[in-house]
Amino acid sequence: MKVASVLIPLPVAEAFDYEVPETLVLARGDQVTVPLGPRLIRGVVAEVRETTGSNRRLKAVAGLVDDPRLPPRTVDFVEWAARWTLSPPGEMAAAALKGLRAPRPRPERRVRRVENRQPGRATPARTAVLDALGGRMLAAADLARAAGVSAGVIKGLVDEGVLEVVEITAETAFAAPDPDYAPATLNPDQAAAADAIAQATARGGFAPFLLDGVTGSGKTEAYLEAVARTLGRDPAAQVLILLPEIALTQDLIARITARFGNAPAEWHSGVTPPRRRRVWEAVAAGACPIVVGARSALFLPYPNLKLIVIDEEHDGSFKQEDGLVYHGRDLAVARARIEGATVVLASATPSLETLWNAQGGRYDWLRLAARHGTAVLPDIALLDLRQAPPDPQTWLSQPLREAIGETFARGEQSLLFLNRRGYAPVVLCRACGHRLTAPDTDSWLVEHRYTGRLVCHLTGFTMARPSACPSCGAVESLVAVGPGVERVEEEVRALFPEARTAVFSSDTVPDAKSARALIQSMVAGEIDILVATQAAAKGHNFPNLTLVGVVDADLGLRGGDLRAAERTFQLLTQATGRAGRADRPGRALLQTWTPDHPVLQALAAGDRDGFVAAELAEREAASLPPYGRLAALILSGENAVAVEATAQALAQAIPNAERLEVYGPADAPLGLIRGRRRKRLLVRADRDVDLQGFLRAWLGRVKVPGSVRLTIDVDPYSFL
């Protein structure tokens, strides 16, 4: 008989076997329904094999699902990603089917011109409609808006037979990009980078590149030219461009539309389920040439993926911490290898792992050393707060205030950067010292003055600001400690009441639409002073922005995080790089209590190479990434005794292994989240050690009780 191994979305380590009925013909990647207990569940066929018999009776596959088959290389990628991250393969396969959760959308109705048909009566309104339509197909409502007429005019032309209504299915709903629509003018460095990438896609096979360019050097134009040449040579090719945050997608989509004449497909959490299904089916049909998306776009079923671009590849947002734990950058490189595709990692501040790979020759290194056109990099200066501290209960020093005033007087824009949301990060009682935290969580509550509420940014818990201390009962004793962006904005409004001031954070721009509106206001010069978190610190181009003030340059350097120095250097480089991106020179002022810190000294000197060399030397001495590898095991549960017992059982079951150490178990820095106690163990291994094999052998020795959740994080980025 034939047996199908089916990946089903359950936390189990292998596929389930089912008998294939004689009436079904199945292949790898098919979607099927299979019985699981009393219900039917959807799964993906991983393998079909012949067998002469079995000592156990297998249930039969219930049926074949009428949805596209996953391409074989997509299944290869899903299985590889599950092995690498030690995730259940069925749950990883479910990520590849996520776009099919919505019902199949109805076909879109559009209108187009009927050849050789003229209106019987050529009114100005009808002429405007025909001029606006040209040779395109548009939705009737969009055509009416473009022509400035009522829907009745469109209907009249349809009734007369001058226009006809056509239904567009998902597979044909994405207009093909025109590689020759609006080519950019590239400088020699950009042209050389585009040539190298395009030649690699033409040759075929796995080809990794680091596109390393200073802020404003035109990396986007360079890789879009490579996209154009790839699609010009092979119109059936597919291109994936990954971005770390939704807020960045709108600007890139506008640039792609301007370059190719048609918009790409979007894939991220802000896309509605019906639209996501349309994108999924169009990708599977090979009818969606360019996809711009977040990390989950990696799991779409590309049949002909030729080029992957990871923009802002250094960004920590590519790491998914909840559910399936994986790093989008690392999985993108793996998918390119499996697909035999070119992959481009683009950044002004590449991660140390990527730089190490480039230095070792594993990635081809493409450099853009200067800003595009006449723009130059901003001057960076450190403001020593020991010498010129801000006034009590204020956060902007006198030199920074004066710089803002001078910039405003010239009609130019300023950005004040503080990577801390809300009004104040801590609320405490002056009477007893109690710090307000979220219920059943160690995370402090952040005051948001706009809404008058206290918010836990970890769990989402929110409450009204109490009038009395919940610990001692003292009335009106709660005070806000430290600044957030709202508090800095309050200070700016008091100092410059005539300036137009706005806040850019995930609280004030919670979705793509509001982010696009604020960015457009900034570009149009409708904002004088923008107070922002990292939401505005990367990827955006504000031509009239000439001053960046970093309110607290020391913020990211506190604590013992492995990547604290690297992340701070990257974030502040990106933030200061927003200044002077057009024809006006820019400058950046960094407020700091530790101006002698090596990270800040490197920033002020523009010495990235020196910083990278020193940081890599420290990592090498400790055999830490990229010279070694890490994995974290996080145990959590409502029963603290069960969590502790499981942690001790793991500690006692560690296999003997060379060139590998296990630290812990220890309480996690955030030891309580949503009522669940947390313990951590950290594994450090030399780079040539089979870390995943060690973890499988170790975890196979211990049975984790159902009341305890075990999360495995290979190559962790968060140590909380």
Q: Is 446 exposed, middle or buried (0-12, 13-18, 19+ CB in 10 A)?
A: buried
Ramachandran angles phi, psi of 273, nearest 5°: -55, -45
The token pair at 44 is 């993906």
Q: How far apart are CA 546 and CA 543, in angstroms?
A: 8
Task: Evaluate if pTM is beyond 0.75.
Answer: yes
CB neighbour burial string for 100-110, b if at least 16 within 10 angstroms, e if fewer:
beeeebeeeeb
Between 122 and 654, name the one with better pLDDT.
Answer: 654
Share of the chain above pLDDT 90, in %: 61
Q: 209: helix, coil or strand?
A: strand
Could you report how far apart the first and last alpha carbons of the chain are, in Å?
51
pLDDT of residue 344: 98
Average pLDDT of the chain is: 90
pLDDT digits over 212-227, tens only? 998 888 899 999 999 9
Which residues have C-beta within 8 Å of that of residue 335, sequence separation ≥ 6? 77, 298, 305, 308, 341
Question: Cβ distance 78 to 299 under 8 Å?
Answer: yes
Q: 32: helix, coil or strand?
A: strand
699 has pLDDT over 90: yes
**232 vs 195, 198, 289, CA distance in Å?**
13, 10, 11
Look at 2-11, 107-116, 150-159 and tell me which has the smallest mean pLDDT.
107-116
Q: Is 467 exposed, middle or buried (0-12, 13-18, 19+ CB in 10 A)?
A: exposed
54 has pLDDT over 70: no
pLDDT of residue 18: 94
34 has pLDDT over 60: yes
Share of the chain above pLDDT 70, in %: 97
Average the pLDDT over 679-696 and give the result. 94
pLDDT digits over 494-525, tens only? 999 999 999 988 777 777 778 778 888 988 89
Nearest to 695 by CA among 90, 13, 15: 13
626 cis-preceded (ω within 30 degrees of 0) = yes
296 has pLDDT over 90: yes
- Confidence tier at 228 by pLDDT (50, 70, 90): very high
DSSP 8-state code for residue 107: P
- Confidence tier at 333 by pLDDT (50, 70, 90): very high
Cα–Cα–Cα angle for 162, 166, 172, rounded to 5 degrees: 135
Between 688 and 440, name the one with better pLDDT.
Answer: 688
Question: Cβ distance 331 to 104 under 8 Å?
Answer: no
- Confidence tier at 375 by pLDDT (50, 70, 90): low
Amino acid (one-letter) located at 524: A
Q: How far apart are CA 337 and CA 322, in angstroms?
A: 26
674 has pLDDT over 70: yes
Question: Cβ distance 704 to 646 under 8 Å?
Answer: yes
Half-sphere exposure of 486 (CA within 13 A, CB side): 18
> What are the percentages of helix, strand and coil residues in the chain, rounded to 5?
35, 25, 40
Q: How far apart are CA 710 and CA 215, in angstroms?
A: 40
- Confidence tier at 450 by pLDDT (50, 70, 90): confident
- Confidence tier at 26 by pLDDT (50, 70, 90): very high
374 has pLDDT over 60: no
Which residues have C-beta within 8 Å of that of residue 291, sequence separation ≥ 6? 238, 239, 240, 241, 264, 265, 266, 267, 279, 283, 297, 300
Q: How far apart are CA 221 and CA 227, in angstroms?
A: 10
Q: How far apart are CA 255 and CA 263, in angstroms?
A: 9
Average the pLDDT over 182-205 and give the result. 95
Look at 92-106, 493-507, 569-583, 627-641 and tell me which has the smallest mean pLDDT.
569-583
630 has pLDDT over 80: yes
Looking up tokens 């809404």, which residue turns up? Answer: 451
Half-sphere exposure of 87 (CA within 13 A, CB side): 28
**652 vs 646, 693, 698, CA distance in Å?**
10, 18, 10
Q: Is 564 exposed, middle or buried (0-12, 13-18, 19+ CB in 10 A)?
A: middle
pLDDT digits over 76-88, tens only? 999 999 999 999 9
Cα–Cα–Cα angle for 433, 437, 441, rounded to 5 degrees: 140
Q: How far apart are CA 89 and CA 70, in angstroms?
A: 15
pLDDT of residue 204: 94
Ramachandran angles phi, psi of 339, nearest 5°: -80, -15
Q: How far apart are CA 644 and CA 640, in angstroms?
A: 6
Ramachandran angles phi, psi of 321, nearest 5°: -100, -20
pLDDT of residue 270: 83
Average the pLDDT over 248-254 and give the result. 83
Q: Is 411 exposed, middle or buried (0-12, 13-18, 19+ CB in 10 A)?
A: exposed
- Confidence tier at 173 by pLDDT (50, 70, 90): low
